[in-house]
């Protein structure tokens, strides 16, 4: 846990320096486009909870698939979106984001890595102030969790691949350091339901599903291209 927080602090430090170093200049020269396309890089800190607590396993025939306890982790992401104006003070944003984090997991006395690949399709309602723009977020999440050596058939070990869907609820802030460059700070809760898993054999549907709810906190830097 301490290592993860140190990593994200080190990664965020350059963004904070940019923020404080340019905030004064932005207020004097800022003029934002009414509509724009933007893209950039993010640093996410992600948790995976719910039924992933290391207490249970799935059994199908001769195959056993573990449901491990997964530690929190820092990763990387890419984001792209478009922003349009509804009124002088309100904007909307339609956004697609991909994030990847590699976590350590434990199950009984075993430990290994689990990789979360998450696709997010979000809509934001933005209060368009001058250079600081707070927003609320609602979106769709598509999680893919790959658990190294998470499946056992009595002979060998194989990776287990979990898939599902979910809903994102969150809030955040865009901080423009110039008309084209802005920093993004985002926090959201993913309400996710895992519906299927694949080990060494065919993909299996999970009756009743499994929860993989968790927090996602991220910071990023974006470049905007005006569309008007």
Q: What is the pLDDT of residues 180-203, one digit of tens each?
A: 999 999 999 999 999 999 998 888
pLDDT at residue number 137 = 98
Question: pTM of the full predicted structure?
Answer: 0.85
Q: Where are the domains of the chain?
A: 2-226
pLDDT at residue number 22 = 46
What is the DSSP secondary structure assignment for residue 50, as one 8-state letter?
A: T
Domain 2-226 indexed as CATH 2.40.160.20: yes
Alpha carbon 29 to chain centroid distance? 33
What is the DSSP secondary structure assignment for residue 145, as one 8-state letter?
A: E
Q: State yes or no: pLDDT of 102 exceeds 90.
A: yes
Q: pLDDT class for 34, splitting at 50, 70, 90?
A: confident
């Amino acid at each position: 846990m301490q290592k993860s927080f140190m990593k994200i602090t080190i990664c965020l430090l350059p963004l904070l320096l940019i923020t404080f170093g340019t905030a004064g200049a932005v207020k004097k020269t800022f003029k934002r486009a009414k509509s724009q396309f933007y893209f950039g890089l993010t640093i996410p800190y992600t948790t995976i909870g719910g039924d992933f607590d290391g207490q249970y396993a799935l059994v199908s025939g001769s195959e056993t698939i573990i449901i491990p306890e997964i530690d929190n982790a820092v990763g990387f992401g890419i984001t792209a979106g478009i922003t349009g104006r509804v009124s002088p003070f309100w904007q909307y944003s339609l956004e697609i984001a991909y994030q990847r984090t590699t976590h350590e997991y434990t199950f009984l006395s075993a430990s290994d890595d689990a990789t979360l690949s998450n696709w997010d399709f979000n809509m934001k309602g933005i209060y368009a102030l001058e250079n600081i723009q707070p927003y609320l977020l609602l979106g769709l999440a598509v999680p893919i969790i790959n658990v190294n050596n998470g499946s056992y058939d009595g002979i060998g070990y194989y990776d287990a691949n979990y898939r599902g869907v979910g809903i994102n609820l969150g809030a955040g802030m865009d901080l423009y350091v110039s008309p084209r460059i802005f920093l993004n700070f985002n926090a959201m809760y993913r309400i996710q339901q895992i519906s299927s898993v694949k080990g060494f054999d065919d993909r299996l549907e999970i009756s009743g599903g499994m929860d993989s709810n968790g927090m996602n906190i991220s910071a990023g830097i974006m470049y905007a291209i005006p569309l008007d």
